[in-house]
Structure 1
Amino acid sequence: MNMKNRKLKAMAGILAAAMVLTAAGGVSVNAAKIRNIQKEAELTEEKALETARKDADLKEKEIDKSRVKLDYDDGQLYYEVEFYAGEKEYDYEIDAKTGKILSKDFEIEDDFLTSKEVREEILSESEVQKIVLKKVPGASEKKLYMKLDRDDGKWIYEGDILYKNMEYEFEIDAETGKILSWEEEDMDD
């Protein structure tokens, strides 16, 4: 009976190793597939941003921050374009092959910071940038996007930063600087 248990344990170990190797092989195939799909994009990131900006009837100098990300979903290769102009946040999805606008919307950002007292109680955007950049060494504030929001009575900085094919999403308490949530996603997966 003891010999039978050893054989079962050995078989379970071999099966587990085979599953890990199979999964790892699938990841490399997936990454290669994504690289091939990216080559199909006929539109550049710059052209996608320009298309969205022109549709929003804005001049280049009116855009405060922007982010463009190539995405593939349901057989569709497209750019996610996000930018800020004044108090508005614009979001576009643009076909990466044709340049056609697939979807668009904008939101007027709420300006919660109206009193001097509230401004003094929270961390500045540059202080929060330092917290995030310390967590992602080598990253730049040029690829860091965040906004101040009020959630359940608390001031929170929400945002993301892009660095070396990774996207990091975060929520940081605007009063204490404590990281409330942190997610990392490989953009090649």
Structure 2
Amino acid sequence: MKMKQKIGAGALLAIIAIGGVYGVGSVQAANSSTSNSTQKQVIGVELAEQKALALAKGQVESIELKKKNTQVYYKVEIDQGQKEIDVLIEAYTGKSLGVRSDNDDDDEDDYKYTNDTSTAIDSMIGASKASAIAVNHLKGTFIEVDLDRDDGRLVYEVELKIDGGTAEVKVDAKTAKIVSVDKDFDNDDDDDDQDDNHNDD
């Protein structure tokens, strides 16, 4: 699946500093191992979002389940208008692993959702609810969720691990309706990818 690159310079530096992006296979392998954690289940996207917002108020732009060495954690990106906050939440215990602040140095192609007067923040469904909708729709495993604009409306793009590959589910940030589903199977060419569009306008 071709994933759009939407990361600003500050967020890119944060990813490099943290140690890079790891595939879902690494995270699943860590989830199945009990040698480095006494708990077997991750806390989930909703609780990770709640814990991050308790540490830094703002609009959650993305949540990603990641792994560095033997540590599995959620990276929650929070937009506070003039700066972006990265909050790391340990995936098994829910403890904070740190909060990092970056100035908003995005180029003009990027935009801040908190300044979008057409969609009030408090009217959005939230990243965790969008993730739950996508997981329930495809019975997949959560990888990442991002807030983005698609054809003039704000949507949550939820990436999932599904049987045989991955999928991207776009969920309308206000109505909670599924906008589209794009499935990418490991043994298929790009031309054979399934793209299920939902017209909810």
TM-score using structure 2 length: 0.39
Which structure shows the bigger proportion of residues in helix conformation? 1
